[in-house]
Structure 1
Amino acid sequence: MLILLPPSETKRDGGAGSPLALGRLRFPSLHAVRRDVVGAVVALSADHADSVRALKLGPKQTGEVERNRTVRSAPTMRALERYTGVLYDALDAGSLSDVEWAVAAESVVVQSALLGLIGAADEVPAYRLSFDSRLSLERGAASLKKRWAAAGGAALAERDDLLLDLRSEGYAALAPLPDREGAHYVRVLARDDNGHVRALNHFNKQAKGLLTRALIEAGASFRSTAELLRWAADEGYELRAAADGSRELELVVPEVRGVPGRLMAALRA
């Protein structure tokens, strides 16, 4: 199976890996687009003021321009260690065993705005780019969606295994899921004490990180939706097919005093 994660705005500095090598990243079919997007980001960073406007940076974020300027020569680290924030804190890649890292490297992919679909263990630099960032202030310049969608979607369409999409809608648009059985977008919902179910906002990311960690620990080797749902039920997770007949899956999290419970208890019914 393949688990698709969104990136995060925040990223760790530094790294001990060699500079970015596009040819070593997963999904080699994306190489041409990667080269073009990286080139556009570096070119944009040559003009500090334009970069600040295009990336919508605040006064305390202008250092992000330097990150982009040096993206080709900066040190790298594994993708799951580079990204930070609620989802990645919950996933806690730093505590994965060697065996679990091997599972993650095979089964977890991050949707980068800069590099497209990248493997969990791919070595990447720190950078600043979002799905809706502009790479040029010129009118009519191609958006990241236009640059990535066809190539990213084709890369996913080549796979015939179970696809579990935990990306936000903006990032999912950069590599749309194929329209077939076994390709599922996951929506996180919360059930209150009265049984009412609603969309989950901030804790949505925590739930996705915890689910990803649980799938890695389980080996992430599920071959079908039915097998995945049986595992979830056996483990106490409320993961179900959407009632509207779509291919979406719903992860329902019980609430405790208005917010989800802590860690794994937040996912288990």
Structure 2
Amino acid sequence: MLVLLPPSEGKAPSGRGAPLKPETLSLPGLSEARRAVLDELTELCAADEEKAREVLGLSEGLRGEIAKNTELRTAGTRPAGEVYTGVLYDALDLASLDTAARRRAARSLLVFSGLWGAVRVTDRIPPYRCSMGVRLPGLGALGAHWRAPMAAAMPEAVGSGLVLDLRSSAYTAAWKPKGEVAERTASVRVLHAPTRKVVSHFNKATKGRIVRGLLESGAAPSGPAELVEALRDLGYEVEATAPSAAGRPWSLDVLVDEIH
């Protein structure tokens, strides 16, 4: 099983580890595309703070993030699973998993990123600010920039198993499963059961708990139908919609009564 996650805007401070070593990151086929984003992002942030703030969509209060982007090659790094600190990652709480579950996380979790394309939670990266929705002056929209390199790199990462897609819409622009891979992909929405509406904070937290539950249980569903059963075994109410045509993913709605 490969679980596709969005990153978080919230990031931990720079780590104490060695600076970034791009050649050590997973999915080495993305190296050239990563270098292009890293080069333009650091140059933009060093050359024109006001333009960088506009391009990155940062409020005045987040102006300090621009200076951090200028130091991406020299800042200390942490495992990506420690760098991302948003609601989903707080609920997932990788640090408190037992050894076996952490090993499963290292194998199965892939975090999409505007800067890195995608990384595993064990890859060491510095904190950064660059969402997939950014349009850099030279490279253009990052979702489009990543599309070709991700299409080339993802088949090996996906392998022959289930793909559990928990990404937000901005990150699905970088890679969409097609054909036979799509048929073993399940995308998940978390809905407030009484209203049948998505509530952002609640949605992210529940997705984090779902991933944690799967990692702790050691569940290894081979396809979307088996995933539905695994989630029900974990106590979730799940409504599944099988694809209406070949080459399309499954859609799963997880219904939860309480928003917390």
Q: Same fold (TM over 0.5)?
A: yes
Superimposed CA distance per residue, residues 220-253 of structure 1 (whole angstroms, 9 cap, x where no aligned partner): 5322223222222222212332267362332322
Q: Secondary structure at the match of 2:57?
A: coil
Match of 1:10 in 2: 10
Residues in 2 aligned to 1:169 and 1:148: alpha-carbon distance in whole angstroms? 14
Map residues 49-198 of structure 1 onto 2, 5 A cutoff.
49-136=50-137, 141-158=139-156, 159-180=159-180, 181-192=183-194, 197-198=196-197
Structure 1 runs (4+) greater than 4 angstroms displaced: none
**Which stretch of the first structure deviates more once superposed, 29-38 or 232-241?**
232-241
Superimposed CA distance per residue, residues 176-218 of structure 1 (whole angstroms, 9 cap, x where no aligned partner): 22333211221222211xxx53333331101111111111112
Is contact 1:20-1:74 (8 Å) kept?
yes
Match of 1:265 in 2: none
Q: Secondary structure at the match of 2:233?
A: helix
Is contact 1:153-1:178 (8 Å) kept?
no
**Corresponding letter in the other structure for 1:209:** G
Is contact 2:219-2:230 (8 Å) kept?
no
More helix by share: 2
Shift in Å, 1:145: 1.4
* Alignment RMSD: 1.8
Is contact 1:79-1:122 (8 Å) kept?
yes
**Structure 2: which 5+ residue stretches go unaligned?**
none
Superimposed CA distance per residue, residues 153-172 of structure 1 (whole angstroms, 9 cap, x where no aligned partner): 33223432210110001111
**Which stretch of the first structure deviates more once superposed, 162-171 or 146-155?**
146-155
Map residues 195-234 of structure 1 onto 2, 5 A cutoff.
197-219=196-218, 221-234=220-233
Residues in 2 aligned to 1:17 and 1:75: alpha-carbon distance in whole angstroms? 5
Sequence identity (%): 38
Q: Secondary structure at the match of 1:185?
A: strand
**Corresponding letter in the other structure for 1:241:** A
Shift in Å, 1:54: 1.0
Q: Secondary structure at the match of 2:179?
A: coil
- TM-score, with structure 2 as normaliser: 0.90
**Corresponding letter in the other structure for 2:29:** S
- TM-score, with structure 1 as normaliser: 0.87
Counterparts in 2 of 1:114 and 1:143: CA distance versus 1, 3 Å: same
Residues in 2 aligned to 1:221 and 1:126: alpha-carbon distance in whole angstroms? 32
**Structure 1: which 5+ residue stretches go unaligned?**
263-269
Superimposed CA distance per residue, residues 75-115 of structure 1 (whole angstroms, 9 cap, x where no aligned partner): 11111111112111111122122322211110001001100
